[in-house]
Structure 1
């Protein structure tokens, strides 16, 4: 397949894309060149290459998962500059779901055909049993997995793992192992934001460093716990920092896969700041994602990561279903989950909604003339007869 461009300045783009289409891993510098393109012809070539690689690496079938997202508390000790979700314990709007509420939400999810619960929350220093954090989280997991053993629990970001370990003076491995024994099946690769500490000092100065995020995800993989991966884009980061982030994800995956467990998917999370703290909003200069920028970045992510991370997913919560569907022609092969509810992004002012029906996802996929397939959390195809409940 050839994507010949006419301008002399574009021949470098041709060479980069030719290497990618030949199956080579690109350098971060190559990826930065692709991200900096603004010529419509160059961008069209990047899109075409990403779509060709998506077809080769993941096929034409578009997958989705039936899941419920549970943000179990918004009480949080940290103050990230992009977050409109967190509250202090005494604040108006603070909440902390009890066991009955969690079980009711899980039961509703099962009744609607969910196979996955995705659970994350704020860093709540009051969430303890017998004065310890880990027993609280273990009890939370056991409550859900005992009631609904067929559900896959996709829960607790690397930041939450570090928080529990810090509170109880435990190693990351000890926390992950205890949660796995209780029933956690995989970890969300959130709290990554951008894996560049210069960016993190502005976005989330209280969060773990890039090195710690990588250390925790690597530990999960060593213990046989799969994870996802994310990138929060479209705020203050540069193309070079975006590529550094992708490069660290790829290196992590290359180290992890020989052990058999690694990153199952990459998800781009474009910045939404309508209700976020004003300082970052003023610096970014807009409140909603720029779809064109997100699509170009998703295409470059496919070209750069696809040999190692085959599944790429847009965020319909952040981009809307129309934008997420378009991303399926820019290198993405998965449309994500039904969610059923979502609070972190919606409270930031996202306009994409918080719940979709299976029919919504399948209809969007059908509009592209591509087959749809329900999957489980680990990308194994499933059918209605094998769904939880």
Structure 2
């Protein structure tokens, strides 16, 4: 690597260079190595990390930047839980509460198909009243069946591990029972949301009613075993420490290593950092964090370290243009990301928290952002097959 002619100590430079050189030789780096990288503050050293992440992205997935034409449908914001970062949830019967019926959901899906969407991403609040004949699973299955019967060409990327646990708990079923039923109805993959940070000390503060880390991992690994791919996420930039961030990445790597060892075709398809947006979030966490919008520089360094640490196992990395804005997400494409996400067409959860990135992007918006950094674009499916 080139010489740094700044005030950084030679020992710092040598340690970082050793880690980056090992990574460029396609070797795994340790959690201790990742902690050293995430702790760097000198601009020249951080740029070396960026260059390494970008080079690994090129080695692992090439120069094409992918995107998906999809629609996001949040079918209800009525929720039994009270996460400290969430401005989306409402109690039933209160102002702003909504619960879309099947006709409304099908109308949104029809609009998406008219715009050439290949995917519906569907998640919602944990609504105890969402049942048919007293069963939660019947409600979710009927919803999926209605969409797939009407639009069989759509891939349904739907229902997080938290929603799977909710259905299982409501109906006294196993996680496998729920996943199999949803899969048979037409769900093609599971969003890896509700992960937040896979550290129970953090979860007890920011989402005490949510499933714990072990349960999230169990549901994701069960999905893989049953042939359902998942994504993976991390809610970053609030009260978690760098050590907890790296431990989260390590847990994701272990999940993927397990799927690979089992020769499962269903694995984690992508990793997405979801930076904390606090502008309209509940006051206690917002006050503790002390800012409303993500810090782009922090997100970019974490993005690069995630590529270096995870890229040998989870090759597709995506920034959140909803949270970072399209320009911020575009920048992340030079810090290790290779995918710009979806058009979404609508988004409520992050927007209601005060995100400034918007709720939709056109295909032309995404393509233009990619071309501006001298990379070529390619439409993909949910499972990263090129179209």
TM (norm. structure 2) is: 0.98
Name the counterpart of 1:147: 150
> Is 1:352 aligned with 2:357?
yes
Partner residue of 2:258?
255
CA offsets 1:167-221 (integer angstroms, 9 cap, x no match): 0000000100000000000000000000000110111000000010000000000
Question: For residues 276 and 291 of structure 2, what CA distance do their matches in structure 1 show?
Answer: 9
Compared CA separation, residues 184 and 3, structure 1 to 2 (3 A): farther
The CA RMSD measured in Å over matched residues stands at: 0.7
Q: CA deviation at 1:10?
A: 2.0
Note the alpha carbon deviations across 1:361-388, whole angstroms, 9 max, x for none. Answer: 0000000111100000000011xxxxxx
**1:311 corresponds to which residue?**
316
Q: Distance in 2 between matches of 1:118 and 1:136?
A: 17
C-alpha contact 1:4 1:14 (8 A) present in aligned 2: no
Are 1:362 and 2:387 an aligned pair?
no
Distance 1:174 1:4, change over 3 A: farther
Match among 322, 328, 331 for residue 326 of structure 1: 331
Match of 1:160 in 2: 163
Q: 2-side partners of 1:217 and 1:329: how far apart? A: 29
TM-superposed deviation, 1:259: 1.7
**Which residue of structure 1 aligns with residue 295 of structure 2?**
290
The offset of 1:108, in angstroms, is 0.1
Deviation of the 1:244 alpha carbon: 0.3
Task: Find the partner of 2:44 among 21, 29, 41.
Answer: 41
* TM-score (structure 1 length as normaliser): 0.97
- Note the C-alpha offset of 1:4: 4.5
Q: Give yes or no for contact 1:153–1:186 (8 Å, CA) kept in 2.
A: yes
- In structure 2, distance between residues paired with 1:124 and 1:84: 16
* Match in the other structure for 2:246: 243
* Rounded Cα–Cα distance in structure 2 between residues aligned with 1:361 and 1:41: 30
Counterpart Cα distance in 2 of 1:5 and 1:115 = 47
Partner of 1:82, secondary structure, is coil
**For structure 1, which runs of at least 5 residues remain unmatched after alignment?**
383-389
| Partner Cα distance (1:189, 1:256) in 2 | 15
State the Cα distance separating 1:260 from its structure 2 match: 2.1
CA contact (8 A) 1:321 1:364 kept: yes
- Is 1:194 aligned to residue 190 of structure 2? no
Number of corresponding residues:
381
1:1-389 alignment runs, 5 A limit? 2-5=1-4, 7-8=9-10, 9-257=12-260, 258-382=263-387
Separation of aligned partners in 2, 1:4 and 1:162: 52
User: Displacement, 1:11?
Assistant: 1.1
Once residues 216 and 278 of structure 1 are traced to their aligned partners in structure 2, the CA distance between those partners, rounded to angstroms, is: 31
> For each residue in 1:135-155, what CA deviation from the matched residue of structure 2 results, as whole angstroms up to 9, or x when unmatched?
000000000000000000000
CA separation in 1, counterparts of 2:114 and 2:147?
15
Q: Does the aligned pair in 2 maintain the 1:338–1:356 contact within 8 Å?
A: yes
